Structure 1
């Protein structure tokens, strides 16, 4: 499972569920940067109902119930036992660990040729084989039919809870039905959990042709807002027999308390829904039209209540491999939110309704490159909206004689830790955690309601991982606008004379077309004062430091390594954080460090924040790299679902480890560091350390944590991905 999950599972062999094993593998790619037309959908649990239907879609079996020892999985495991990796030295050069390597999807019929050509390529691929007793357990399981462990029946209490949810989500009034449609379009990727004796039971929210109490008849469409082609949609909970994988795990609590909050937030307010919206594309793909009847405050409060989850939908959802999607953001930045009771125009329902046409998002109409021709229309609509927003906000500020101040930022109502987030980009993956983590970042965002909603419908509800390259490019280009909005909202809290200077720094060497923005060029941005008083020559740092203390949970104490180590080791780790420079560029994006020697191992994560002159362009990322601006964020515990490397360091060696990192100047220095502290792919203790990390993750939180992914673990590369 640490190699085979999500959309980028090799050969689409997804092993986090029994249905994935039974489906088998395919030679077709999900991530295909050269795809000129949309591909057929192959979503597990959605696009076929049986192994036979998957065979019709080109999937081939990897287990053989009639002759188990002839199955692909059985023979892959045996191949590794017959040809283990050498326990020392570099991994054989025949291995290609790059993400876009040519797939070798061997079938039962051609396995003999595969084994002869690639004797070292057994499973686990490019990692140590199983211990003999573990291998025999797997072999016996395959010989006995590869049956899944029995799934315990739902208790009477859980059955009552499922019934209560399905009754709640399928009320007959227009108000109830519109609420449920809104919830579905924001929760369709969620790993919903009901709790039973301290353990999670997993479900997902689906659309069904059948009402509660009847067998579920799943409605599968390309997007969650596509026409279900039935007179009445029913929202049901489908039990998910999965093992959570951290890279795609979007845990979301579903219980009576949550249901009561939905009632108070969506149904108790006094408003009417005269008629339900249809599913025409121009309405369904635009949440500012389809959900105009729901008060903006209710919609925004829903998104804020679990803001980390809301953001994680586009971080973890369709983007298992998303360099193009993610090179639109910095490697680390902090996120705040406008207060839901502020005077922001985006909380004025009438204003959003008037501007709903200009708030439309790119939607793939044809599934071909023709869609790109519509791009300029979306860009012009965005500009018109920004002009209207500037005019509205200027009028409001002038009329009330007010200035922008701290009270316009959400503080979590004093008890919600979702009010401050840190987003990390790891080249082509990303993570989001609660609190402000690390030193003052290069950039920060302030997110408003419409910005948060548009991000969701651009990158989650409306994003098609099977879409043509035109769809991917269109999405990436529009996300530039949304990033700039978040940045510009943040700049409004700084002194006017600092705003343009800081933005110029963020967009060094970027061409004008890549940084032009209506709001950035407005008189409001150039001249509107803030009521904040600054006392230092670094207002960005001062302001973010103030917010770190003001916003509930922003101090992110659970990631603070200082209480876990001695003063000497704290100083060593502090030096890593303070040491900005090209020496950090040798390290990979995500390194997990096991610090041994104490009563029990301590775990650290080293995260590389790569320096760029700007992130305003789609291509030529390497040309904009500034290794001399690279820095490290060091945290206690785990951040990042795709570790690139494990280190094992004795606590007495931590100062030397930090000094060795700071002293790196060449590929040879990096090689020596890995040999001294790194855990190579072929290290005999690799799986022991992997088990240790997973046990720590699950002990810390069995609801929100899952298994790590090793598809980006380093091989013999001279240095990490830039």
Structure 2
């Protein structure tokens, strides 16, 4: 087979081992001289070459290798992501089973057990199979190696490994990349031969951490109905976070923590409630507890939230400074889960909204790096890049007008609680009708109370110094990312989110979403987020001149989108004026320009690279190397594919590693696909407008799932830019890849694929984590 070289001895071993009971490996895989330690010797190998695919719910065969417990649990033939007519039993590590025997009862099988001989270990056999072939360095992979989310993972049990090796000779691990080195393979083999002595993920807390845990747990577990209702709201909003105690240094903390509902009281080991959702009935007494995160940190699930004494005092003041009462604590039934606005109606609405605003990036990040993991439930309903800002609490009538709040709260509940397939149609129609009732009521009350229309003062300015006020959301086809600041050229759409939109997005995509749920539940989740997007768009339209709103809306819903405007959405307000004075015939661009002008103080990421209007195309605080990158590559940023044909061949989300001797920097290179509309669940490719696609270039790692990595020496930056600008067809793009790309077959693939992680560890250590390469392409 072209491009493949085999190790004859290993190939023979793989075939005869089941028959003869084993054979010696090549002489250069001699066992280590000293006993092998999992923590010191094996874990680094897994972190370097395995966890990049085996993390989160979408880990192939549910083999999660971030922790000792995940390795011990093993694999399953049952995928998490599939269309089900009924919800499946959850299989969450540390939650849904407590012992190895429990996991075996749930259908998981060992990948490390070698009590019947080394050949019985799936881990050994898969790694050996990977070493039985050697890809020609720099070549594309053979087409029979399927990659990406469409890959049909084969999950052989130990008894089925022989058939797998015969049917999938190129399916060894790590899949489609250089195999383990001789030393690494010998280390893993020696560990398995020794009986795979378990490692240790235990966490030793410092006195300061113990003190802060005690303070937060005491605050969350106080007596009193008001305190209990506040604690429930806080828990439901932080259950997904990697919490850390922020000392203000910006350095990575020693440990991260998760907030759990536990059967055990503070001071005892945490025993989490095994409920599918955080707002499901607890089934008895419980306490809110902080539990250390164990094992390796995977970027795609690393959603950080800082805990400080000042933040706890702020929550206390926001919730309890003003008098309010709660006569009866809400339950955990279907109605309470479906509508957080009525469930937590006794809580001060401003407190709820303000806490979400304070850390808006965290909450938006939970939408797209949370339980969904792949992101496909939400991403097909959003544009490839847009900006998001928030309505100021003092101008949000849901916050300031108690009568209006009481009138509409019943209308903004969320579907998806009923997971039966037959419920999909009726539930969707019922919630669509109620949402549109709400939107009409909202139009009316704002027209009555804001007769002059909204102005710049009605957009939250971060209270003057909070850069969570301005966000950019990127979609990378089947996953998304969010960063503070307004990045990229002016987007086609910008969202202005008020509290009802923000909270509904959170409960729809995070709290109420069940990754193990039925196809009905997941479809309802996606369909309702379509309504949320439309609501954010309609709110933004209020800031534009009344006579331009309908044409702008039509530009967002071209072709088949017009049908959706007619049958699904409430009519937009095209009568109430705006308080903003417009001077041009392109009001959406003018609105976006106004955001940059009026909120400069809280724009975390100024971007002259993608909005370069003169010769100053580099950021003012860029290093010498960064300035060279930005000045050289700015000419290709934001250019449409009609003018820059290489965009047609670019991956959705790439990383650019620029090296200058010992110095190196990383940029994200993101393709923004244009669509005639994003109003439908299926047939996305039919709505592409490829001639309008663009590239956004920005420093840092703005993604979790790189599709490709380009490596460029600083002295060849202009050659790279010229190659991008000059590529006209697939052959030119292939030549670009062969010259500057990091193909999966490169001998130094693993060294360079972790360079972005090392960059994060230097520049944003709190956020650093292992990137996922399940979507890394074969270009």
**Do both share a fold (TM > 0.5)?**
yes
Q: Secondary structure at the match of 1:269?
A: coil
Contact residue 414 and residue 504 of structure 2 kept, 8 A:
yes
**Does structure 1 residue 585 correspond to structure 2 residue 636?**
no
- Structure 1 residues 141 and 436: alpha-carbon distance in aligned structure 2, compared to 1, 3 A threshold: farther
Q: How far apart in 1 are the matches of 2:269 and 2:713?
A: 56
Whole-Å separation in 2 of the counterparts to 1:445 and 1:669: 38
Cα contact 1:39–1:467 (8 A) shared by 2: yes
Residue of structure 2 equivalent to 1:700: 763
The structure-2 alpha-carbon separation of the partners of 1:150 and 1:424, relative to structure 1 and needing over 3 Å to count, comes to closer
Q: 1:156: which partner in 2?
A: 207
Equivalent of 1:363, from 416, 438, 441? 416
Partner residue of 2:635? Answer: 575
CA contact (8 A) 1:195 1:201 kept: no
Equivalence for 1:529 = 577
Contact preservation (8 Å) 1:488, 1:520? no
| Mapping for residues 328-477 of structure 1, pairs under 5 Å | 328-345=381-398, 347-398=400-451, 402-477=452-527
Indicate yes or no: 2:267 matched with 1:213: yes
Name the residue aligned to 1:318.
371
- Partners of 2:386 and 2:495 within 8 A in 1: yes
CA distance in 2, matches of 1:82, 1:422: 45
Q: Is the 8 A contact 2:456 2:598 kept in 1?
A: no
Change (3 A) 1:298 1:105: same
CA deviation after TM superposition for structure 1 residue 150, in Å: 5.4
Matches of 1:125 and 1:369, distance apart in 2: 40
Partner SS, residue 554 of structure 2: helix
Q: Secondary structure at the match of 2:411?
A: coil
Partner of 1:629: 692
Identify the residue that residue 120 of structure 1 maps to in structure 2.
Answer: 170
Going from structure 1 to structure 2, the CA distance change for 1:208 and 1:323 (only over 3 Å counts) comes to closer
Separation (CA, whole Å) in 2 of partners of 1:567 and 1:183: 43
Contact between 2:393 and 2:399, CA under 8 Å: does it hold in 1?
A: no
Output the CA distance in 2 between the equivalents of 1:298 and 1:195.
Answer: 22
Question: Is residue 601 of structure 2 the alignment partner of residue 550 of structure 1?
Answer: no
Kindly indicate whether the alpha-carbon contact (under 8 Å) linking 1:200 and 1:703 is maintained by their aligned counterparts in 2: no
Match of 2:42 in 1: none
CA distance in 1, matches of 2:570, 2:333: 34
Q: TM-score, normalised by structure 2?
A: 0.87
Looking at structure 1, the residues matched to 258 and 634 of structure 2 have their Cα atoms a distance apart, in angstroms, of: 43
- Deviation per CA, 1:324-370: give whole Å up to 9, x if none: 42110000000000011115345434422322221111023244343
- 1:193 is aligned to 244
Q: Secondary structure at the match of 1:84?
A: strand
Q: What is the aligned counterpart of 2:718 among 655, 672, 679?
A: 655
Q: Paired residue for 1:719? A: none
d(CA) in 2 for partners of 1:366 and 1:238? 31
Distance of 1:555 and 1:305 partners within structure 2: 14
Q: Distance in 2 between matches of 1:570 and 1:143?
A: 52
SS in 2 for 1:358: helix
- 3-state DSSP class of the match of 2:52? coil
CA distance in 2, matches of 1:516, 1:352: 28
CA distance in 1 between counterparts of 2:749 and 2:606 reads: 30
Over 3 Å counting, the alpha-carbon distance change for 1:559 and 1:36 in structure 2 is: farther
Q: Which moved more, 1:695-704 or 1:585-594?
A: 695-704
- Separation of aligned partners in 2, 1:657 and 1:188: 44
Q: Which moved more, 1:271-280 or 1:347-356?
A: 347-356
- Aligned position for 1:223: 277
Shift of 1:598: 5.0
Alpha-carbon distance between aligned partners in 2 of 1:247 and 1:343, rounded to the nearest angstrom: 33
Shift in CA distance, 9/130, structure 1 to aligned 2, threshold 3 Å: same
Deviations 1:682-704 (A, max 9, x none): 00111111232221112222322
Identify unmatched segments of 5+ residues in structure 1: 717-722
Aligned residues of 1:325 and 1:472 also touching (Cα < 8 A): no
The alignment partner of 1:356 has SS state of: helix
- Bigger drift between 505-514 and 43-52 goes to 505-514
Find out whether 1:203 has 2:254 as its counterpart.
Answer: no
> So what's the TM-score if we normalise by structure 1?
0.94
Query: 1:328 touches 1:476 (CA, 8 Å); kept in 2?
Result: yes
Bigger drift between 382-391 and 172-181 goes to: 382-391
> Matches of 1:366 and 1:633 in 2, distance apart?
39
* C-alpha deviation, 1:470, in angstroms: 1.5
Partner Cα distance (1:194, 1:139) in 2: 39
Distance 2:390 2:561 in 1: 29
Contact 2:486 2:606 in 1 (8 A): no
* 1: CA distance, partners of 2:115 / 2:313: 52
In structure 2, C-alpha distance between the alignment counterparts of 1:559 and 1:83, rounded to whole Å: 47
For the pair 1:19 / 2:58, whether they are aligned, the reply is no
Cα distance between partner residues in 2 of 1:354 and 1:93 = 59
User: What is the CA–CA distance in structure 1 between the aligned matches of 2:267 and 2:715, rounded to whole Å?
Assistant: 62
1:167 to 218, 230, 235: 218
Paired position in structure 2 for 1:254: 307
How far off is 1:156 after superposition?
Answer: 2.1
CA positional deviation for 1:569: 5.0
CA, structure 1 residues 83+51, in 2 after alignment: closer, same or farther (shift >3 Å)?
Answer: same
Shift of 1:405: 0.5
Alpha-carbon spacing, 1:45–1:151, altered in 2? closer, same or farther (3 Å): closer
Unaligned runs of at least 5 residues, structure 2 = 1-50, 610-617
| CA deviation after TM superposition for structure 1 residue 216, in Å | 2.9
- Give the Cα–Cα distance (whole angstroms) in 2 for the partners of residues 532 and 487 of structure 1: 17
Kindly tell me: are residues 715 and 363 of structure 1, through their superposed partners in 2, closer, same or farther at Cα, counting changes over 3 Å? same
**Contact 1:176 1:267 (8 Å CA) reproduced:** no
Shift of 1:610: 0.4
* Aligned mate of 1:540, from 588, 591, 594: 588
Does the CA contact (< 8 Å) of 1:386 and 1:519 recur in 2?
no
> Number of matched residues?
709
Look up the SS of the partner of 2:361 in the other structure: helix
Q: Distance in 2 between matches of 1:170 and 1:445?
A: 37
Aligned to 2:108: 59
The alignment partner of 2:747 has SS state of coil
Counterparts of 1:566 and 1:333 in 2: how far apart (Å)? Answer: 25
The superposition leaves residues 298-338 of structure 1 with CA deviations (integer Å, 9 ceiling, x where unpaired) of: 00011111001111111100222233421100000000000
Aligned to 2:410, what secondary structure does the other structure show? coil
Task: Give the aligned CA root-mean-square deviation in angstroms.
Answer: 2.2
